[in-house]
């Protein structure tokens, strides 16, 4: 009899336990229906590329649909214990998830919660999200925002990721854009691991002298105004450009030239930080490597003159002309570039600096023979340009770098002119595929060139004339391929690629995820340093 009574009691207890749950819920009723969640599977996604996580869970329950409440939460792997557990970051309140991923790379957990409004009973299900980034490849676009600050877009494989700095930093960088520099195989301190590392770097400079350097795989900030120098803050610095020379990472500013020696092998890299100036003559963002990278010619804003420094970056010297001619001492440089034509093993290299005299409006073209020399590079020719030429008055100027001996300019009525320094004349080239009414505000010839001689993958090589237009706060970039859309430096077909975004374009640079040996940067120049 006692045994029977005990059996009935156990059955009753089991029945009570089976009718209620304690699953992260508050029970408001004696009767609780179960909620089953299915359809969640781990996913991988590339971040900051307009990619979405789409999940359509299947819910099985006796609760009416109008009595169910949904919530999605996300948290990073190895996140410290939080007061509200996984509920800190709610990203959606719908059954189906359509979530645009703009997150640093890493592993994340997505939690889906279904709650009954009848009695507050809830059930959860979890999936993992592996996030990588697309920052390591594509065309970086430096732009001025509508409010006059600096941000970047990235175009990769047909997808434009916009306003990346605003998404990463919470706001654009302060001030209008000054320059964008990409450095292949640069050295830095990994902030997460607190150790030296090597990778490709993105350097951004503004007219308010704000500077930031980012590691390209995750676009993690690794340098800024306070951390680039060993001595700390950049007092009175106007940073202009950072680039890779054969044996150094090189930084040019108004206070001179600073360098960081690079490590050729092993894993114990340098920090990438800079010491005192190796040369204290003021510089600018206009710099051209010549003589197979053995020398760097640059414009000094403070001295209004060309200077020359060798690859060891010892004190620079003022450039002289081969025939003893001179130019006015109050010029301002407005454009610079290099033209590389002829045989790949012994190319003809012509560097140019286009300068204007503010007091008169006259323009001077300074030409240099940029080929290899044992005697030092000199100014080959100083041309006072005829005021009737468009290059002598147009504001937008860029050189053809590899296929023709032209310097391009854009007139006030949005026409493209090509000036030849060989014949000292110019001609108009139509721009197929650009609609009337779009104001041309940007022009550059960008290329990427790696030789199979050095064992590189050449599939990334390109050579494009890029024309930027503006309509309100919308920009368009038209890419004319030298191999498909141009002939002898002249556009002959509609552009192969058109990119549309917001803001106003100030610079375009190409980056690909690969390591480039420092000695190959300038023995055969692989990309331009300036527009």
Domain residue extents for the chain:
2-133
pLDDT at 64: 93
Query: Which strands sit side by side in the sheet containing 462-471, from one edge to the other?
Result: 439-448, 462-471, 474-481, 497-502
pLDDT at 10: 43
pLDDT at 293: 73
DSSP codes, 292-339: GGTEEEEEETTTTEEEEEETT-PPPEE--BTT-----TT-EEEEEEEE
Architecture label for domain 2-133 = Sandwich (2.60)
Residue closest to 434 by CA, chosen among 390, 484, 493: 493
At 107, list the tokens.
């592993």
Q: For residue 436, give every residue at least 6 positions away whose Cβ sits within 8 Å of its Cβ, in sequence order, or none.
A: none
pLDDT at 517: 60
Task: Provide the whole-model pTM.
Answer: 0.80
pLDDT at 453: 64
Q: CA-CA distance, 283 to 239, in Å (whole number)?
A: 9
pLDDT at 486: 98
**Are 54 and 98 in contact, with CB atoms under 8 Å apart?**
yes
pLDDT at 12: 47
DSSP E strands in 56-176: the ranges are 58-61, 68-76, 90-92, 97-100, 106-116, 122-133, 138-144, 150-156, 159-161
Query: Which strands sit side by side in the sheet containing 159-161, from one edge to the other?
Result: 159-161, 150-156, 138-144, 504-511
Q: Judging by beta carbons within 10 Å of its beta carbon (0-12, 13-18, 19+), is residue 250 exposed, middle or buried?
A: buried
Q: For residue 2, give every residue at least 6 positions away whose Cβ sits within 8 Å of its Cβ, in sequence order, or none.
A: none
Q: Rounded to whole angstroms, what are the CA distances from 208 to 47, 204, 530? A: 30, 12, 20
Tens of pLDDT along the chain (531 residues)? 444 444 444 444 444 443 333 444 444 444 578 999 999 999 988 888 889 999 999 999 999 999 999 999 999 886 665 556 788 889 999 999 999 998 877 889 999 999 999 899 999 999 999 887 879 889 999 999 999 999 999 998 889 999 999 999 999 999 999 999 999 889 999 888 888 888 899 999 999 999 999 999 889 999 999 999 998 888 889 999 999 887 788 999 999 999 888 776 555 678 999 988 888 899 999 999 888 777 889 999 999 999 999 877 778 899 999 889 999 999 999 999 999 887 766 788 899 999 999 999 999 999 998 877 666 788 999 999 999 999 999 999 999 999 999 999 999 999 999 999 999 999 999 999 999 989 999 999 999 988 776 667 788 899 999 999 999 999 999 999 999 999 999 999 999 999 999 999 999 999 987 777 655 544 456 788 888
pLDDT at 492: 98
> 170 φ, ψ to 5°?
95, -15
At 309, list the tokens.
């420094």
The residue assigned the tokens 């307009």 is 50
Residue 132 forms beta bridges with which residues? 46
The H-or-E segment that residue 17 falls in is helix 2-18
The H-or-E segment that residue 444 falls in is strand 439-448
**Are 479 and 456 in contact, with CB atoms under 8 Å apart?**
no
pLDDT at 9: 43
pLDDT at 433: 98
pLDDT at 54: 96
- Collapsed DSSP state (helix, strand, coil) of residue 121: coil
């Amino acid at each position: 009899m006692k045994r029977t009574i005990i059996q009935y009691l156990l059955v009753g207890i089991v029945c009570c336990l089976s009718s209620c749950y304690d699953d992260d819920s508050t029970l408001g009723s004696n009767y609780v229906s179960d909620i089953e969640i299915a359809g969640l599977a781990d996913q991988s996604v590339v971040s900051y590329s307009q990619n979405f996580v789409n999940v359509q869970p299947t819910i099985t329950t006796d609760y009416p649909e109008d009595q169910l409440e949904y919530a999605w939460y996300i948290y990073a792997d190895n996140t410290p214990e939080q007061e509200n557990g996984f509920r800190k970051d709610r990203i959606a309140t719908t059954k189906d998830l359509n979530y645009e991923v703009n997150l640093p790379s890493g592993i994340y957990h997505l939690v889906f919660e279904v709650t009954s409004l009848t009695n507050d009973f809830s059930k959860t299900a979890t999936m993992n999200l592996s996030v990588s980034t697309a920052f390591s490849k594509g065309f970086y676009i430096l732009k001025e925002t509508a409010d006059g600050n600096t941000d970047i877009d990235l175009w990769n494989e047909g997808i434009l990721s916009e306003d990346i700095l605003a998404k990463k930093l919470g706001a654009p960088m302060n001030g209008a854009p000054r320059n964008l520099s990409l450095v292949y195989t640069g050295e830095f301190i990994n902030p997460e691991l607190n150790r030296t590392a090597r990778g490709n770097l993105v350097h951004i400079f503004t007219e308010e002298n704000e500077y930031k350097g980012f590691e390209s795989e995750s676009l993690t900030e690794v340098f800024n105004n306070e951390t680039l120098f060993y001595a700390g803050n950049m007092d009175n610095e106007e940073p202009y450009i950072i680039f890779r020379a054969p044996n150094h990472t090189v930084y040019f500013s108004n206070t001179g030239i600073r360098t960081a020696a690079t490590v050729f092998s092993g894993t114990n890299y340098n920090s990438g930080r800079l010491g005192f100036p190796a040369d204290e003559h003021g510089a600018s963002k206009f710099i051209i490597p010549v003589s197979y990278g053995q020398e760097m010619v640059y414009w000094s804003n403070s001295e209004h003159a060309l200077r020359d420094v060798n690859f060891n970056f010892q004190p620079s010297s003022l450039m002289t002309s081969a025939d003893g001619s001179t130019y006015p001492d109050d010029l301002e440089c407005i454009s610079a570039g290099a033209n590389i034509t002829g045989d790949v093993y012994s190319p003809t290299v012509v560097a140019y600096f286009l300068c204007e005299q503010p007091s008169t409006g006259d323009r001077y073209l300074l030409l240099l023979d940029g080929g290899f020399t044992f005697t030092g590079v000199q100014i080959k020719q100083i041309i006072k340009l005829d005021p009737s030429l468009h290059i002598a008055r147009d504001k937008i100027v860029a050189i053809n770098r590899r296929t023709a001996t032209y310097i391009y300019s854009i007139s006030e009525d949005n026409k493209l002119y090509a000036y030849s320094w060989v014949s000292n004349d110019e001609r108009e080239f139509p721009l197929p595929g650009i609609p009337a009414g779009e104001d041309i505000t940007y022009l550059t010839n960008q290329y990427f060139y790696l030789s199979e001689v050095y064992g590189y993958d050449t599939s990334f090589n390109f050579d494009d004339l890029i024309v930027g237009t503006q309509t309100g706060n919308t920009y368009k970039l038209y890419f004319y391929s030298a191999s498909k859309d141009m002939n002898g430096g002249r556009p002959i077909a509609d552009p192969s690629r058109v990119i549309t975004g917001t803001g106003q374009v100030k610079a375009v640079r190409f980056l690909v995820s690969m390591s480039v040996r420092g000695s190959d940067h300038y023995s055969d120049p692989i990309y331009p340093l300036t527009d």
